Amino acid sequence: MMWIQKQLQLQARPRGFHLVTREILEGVPEMHDMGTGMMQVFLLHTSASLTLNENASPDVRRDFESYFNKAVPENEPYFEHTLEGPDDMPAHLKSSLMGVSLMLPVQKGRPVLGTWQGIYLCEHRDYGGSRRICVTAWGERAT
């Protein structure tokens, strides 16, 4: 049995939905030694989120951004948490709706993903800055 746990700093990105699969996997090269196991990706922030979806068409990521901006608009008069700007409270809500953690199976040193699946960092702030994630993987060593 092997365990891996690393904290990674993802580069700062503008508001939107961004593919980060490659960046995450490059940050955990030890996972190549794993045969079968599990991998958890946990985002250490409250104004961004993670999800798994389409990895080919950038239209999907733009449509996600459009949908969530309409579903959770800024400048609502009932928001009390406004000291950090009009995008802050909506970012917290979007983060809770989407979640900050993914659990993925691992096979032959890589997460098992469908042909068109990729990990998104969902940046809900205009200027969120770099984001930290904790990747924990456990399983059997490759034989």
How would you class 110 by CB atoms within 10 Å of its CB: exposed for 0-12, middle for 13-18, buried for 19 or more? middle
Q: Collapse the DSSP code of 76 into the 3-class scheme (helix H, G, I; strand E, B; otherwise coil) and give the result.
A: coil
7: number of CA atoms within 13 Å, CB side?
6
Contact 134, 59 (CB under 8 A): no
Q: Which two tokens stand for residue 138?
A: 């456990």
pLDDT of residue 34: 98
Please state the pTM of the whole predicted model.
Answer: 0.95
Q: What per-residue confidence (pLDDT) applies to 143?
A: 86
Where do the structural domains in the chain lie, given as residue ranges?
Answer: 2-141
| Predicted pLDDT of residue 141 | 97
- CATH: 3.40.50.2300, 3.40.50.620, 2.60.40.10, 2.60.120.460. Which one for 2-141? 2.60.120.460
Per-residue pLDDT of the chain (143 residues; tens, 9 = 90+): 999 999 999 999 999 999 999 999 999 999 999 999 999 999 999 999 999 999 999 999 999 999 999 999 999 999 999 999 999 999 999 999 999 999 999 999 999 999 999 999 999 999 999 999 999 999 999 98
pLDDT of residue 114: 97
Residue corresponding to tokens 């940050």: 27
- DSSP state letter for 29: G
**Which residue, 110, 7, 97, 102, is CA-closest to 53?**
102
Please give the pLDDT value at position 5.
Answer: 98
